Amino acid sequence: MEPTTPSQTVGPYLHIGLPWPDGPYALREGAPGGVWLRGTVTDGAGAPVPDALIETWQADPEGRFDHPDDPRGAVRRDGFRGFGRCPTDDEGRWAVYTLKPGPVPGPAGSAASAGPSGPSGRPVLQAPHIDVSVFARGMLHRTVTRVYFPDEEEANGRDPVLSSIAAPQERATLVASATEDGYRFDIRLQGEGETVFFDI
Amino acid sequence: MGQETAAGRDASAEADAPQGRDASAVWGYRRDPGVHPPLDYPGYRSTALRHPQRPLKVLPHLLTEVTGPLLGEDRIGPLDHDLTRGHDGEPQGQRITVQGRVLDADGRPVPHTLVEIWQANAGGRYRHKGDNWPCPLDPNFTGVGRTVTDAEGRYSFTTVRPGAYPWKNHDNAWRPAHIHFSLFGRAFTQRLVTQMYFPGDPLFFQDPMWNSIPDPQARERLVARYDHALTQPEWALAYTWDIVLRGRESTVFEHELALEDDD
Ligand SMILES: [Fe+2]
């Protein structure tokens, strides 16, 4: 087995190499049915983080991925990349234009977990979600979080990842709020209202 | 390789198959604890307000985590792998090539995957509004490159050797010469952003980025090797650097619903 290559920070000059003109468009610019997912990144003092980069990855509205490792097969949807990338601006703001994802199969039921599906092996659905990476100066490794949706209360309640987080105020950091043109998902790197981050 | 692809393995599986081979039975990726720097590292002052204080929660590798964007040729132009071109003239500095392979931890090549780089010019200055130290910009150098690995996971860039540059983290602080690298692999889980260094750099000892990597042997994995066999006579010095992304779990893993807290 080969040992893996360690991570290093993107540093303060990430804007030279990482942003793309079409980066924020996980769904092609102008394509109908899209929503804007917007947010602000703030640090432990509540100050905006102007040198961060947000990346998003998600299923399409049918819960499918354009990827061969999905055992259900790859599904390509015209104009939809599923991947968004946006640097933060001077006020720490970022935005990604995308489609709201559908529910995605989750872990198989098991005796230990006996959810709605019981031990039959039938997968428990995960609520619609978007995986997010946060890169920034001052972060030696990316952090990972997940966006859930405010209009999916029932599915969120059954979601195996979300419901594994015991404290309601921590769970709440993963649920976006509705806005006029989509959803808002603020990311607090530290302190009061700190976003839940995952070890992936 | 003796390992089926996920697509081949499960092409006929149904999402509601009675057990096992369903959409929930996906190969996860092996975690690599101890390899990466901690998010809280006082030696790098900017981590102080930018690291989470609560322990990370373990995220199982489900469909969103074992898939990822497969970005390829459509993201790159014909000259994007050569940072010495695309300007009116040639940049100042020592011309070099940097090449190697992108592999996973099982030694399998990662083919057709996007590799992005950015760097300072030969004097150590970035073409960035935030970099104002007294070192000239080079009108013939922007410092950004992209390529896609070939079927064997190989990549290659032509550029100039970047200079060291000062920063304000500590007294008389200088970053060792480095090139920033960004890699996707084939899954969200494999995403990696890192920096490549040059052998024998005298600045490592005082560099918190370098020292933040807990295992000294792991630090060495960020150092390219001078490669005389690939050095081109009267043209460019060659540096070879292989990048290893996380590998797959060896067996299909039936996820338990109960997640564990990391604490
Ligand atoms: Fe740098």
Phi, psi angles (nearest 5°) of residue B49: -105, 5
Q: Which of A107, A131, A199 sits opposite B24 (nearest CB)?
A: A107
Instruction: Render pLDDT for A60-104 as a digit per residue (tens, 0 to 9).
Output: 999 999 999 999 999 999 999 999 999 999 999 999 999 999 999
How many angstroms separate the Cα of B15 from the Cα of each of A115, A189, B8, B202, B233? 17, 36, 16, 56, 58
Contacting residues of A for B64, CB less than 8 Å apart? 57-59, 65, 104, 126, 129, 131
Closest to B90 (Cα-Cα) out of B139, B19, B25: B139
Print burial letters for B64-85: b (CB count within 10 Å at least 16), e (below 16). bbbbbbbbeeeebeeebbebbe
Where in chain B are the domains? Answer: 69-248
Closest to B133 (Cα-Cα) out of B121, B125, B143: B125
CA dist., res. B183 & res. B193, Å (int): 6
pLDDT in tens, chain B (263 residues): 333 333 333 333 333 333 344 555 678 999 999 999 999 999 999 999 999 999 999 999 999 999 999 998 889 999 999 999 999 999 999 999 999 999 999 999 999 999 999 999 999 999 999 999 999 999 999 999 999 999 999 999 999 999 999 999 999 999 999 999 999 999 999 999 999 999 999 999 999 999 999 999 999 999 999 999 999 999 999 999 999 999 998 665 554 433 434 33
In a 13 Å sphere around the CA of B53, the CA atoms on its Cβ side amount to 11
The CA-based angle A119-A120-A123, given to 5 degrees, is 95
Q: Which of B6, B16, B39 sits opposite A68 (nearest CB)?
A: B6
Domain B69-248: give its CATH superfamily: Aromatic compound dioxygenase (2.60.130.10)
How many angstroms separate the Cα of B20 from the Cα of each of A71, A108, A159, B65, B256? 12, 8, 20, 19, 13
Closest to A61 (Cα-Cα) out of A42, A79, A85, A38: A79
A11 and B180 within 8 Å at the Cβ level: the answer is yes
Sign of CA dihedral A115, A121, A126, A130: positive
CA dist., res. A199 & res. A126, Å (int): 18
The residue whose two tokens read 């299909």 is B252
ipTM above 0.90, yes or no: yes
A59 and B194 within 8 Å at the Cβ level: the answer is no
Interface test with B, best of A1, A10, A13, A110 (most B CBs within 10 A): A13
Instruction: Render pLDDT for B171-201 as a digit per residue (tens, 0 to 9).
Output: 999 999 999 999 999 999 999 999 999 999 9
Catalytic residue IDs of B: 126, 165, 175, 178, 180
Nearest chain B alpha carbon to A124: B24
Reported in sequence order, the residue ranges of chain A that DSSP labels E, i.e. its strands, are: 35-42, 52-58, 83-87, 93-98, 104-108, 123-126, 129-136, 143-148, 177-179, 182-184, 187-188, 198-199
Contacting residues of A for B194, CB less than 8 Å apart? 5-8
Contacting residues of B for A120, CB less than 8 Å apart? 18-19
Domains and CATH numbers, chain A: 14-188 (2.60.130.10)
Non-local (6+) Cβ contacts of A121 within 8 A are: A108, A109, B17, B18, B19, B20, B22
CA dist., res. A19 & res. A118, Å (int): 45
Q: Which of A6, A73, A124 sits opposite B35 (nearest CB)?
A: A6
Instruction: Render pLDDT for B40-75 as a digit per residue (tens, 0 to 9).
Output: 999 999 999 999 999 999 999 999 999 999 998 889
Phi, psi angles (nearest 5°) of residue A175: -105, 120
B57 and A20 within 8 Å at the Cβ level: the answer is no
**Count of other CB atoms within 10 angstroms of residue A70:** 24
A144 and B59 within 8 Å at the Cβ level: the answer is yes
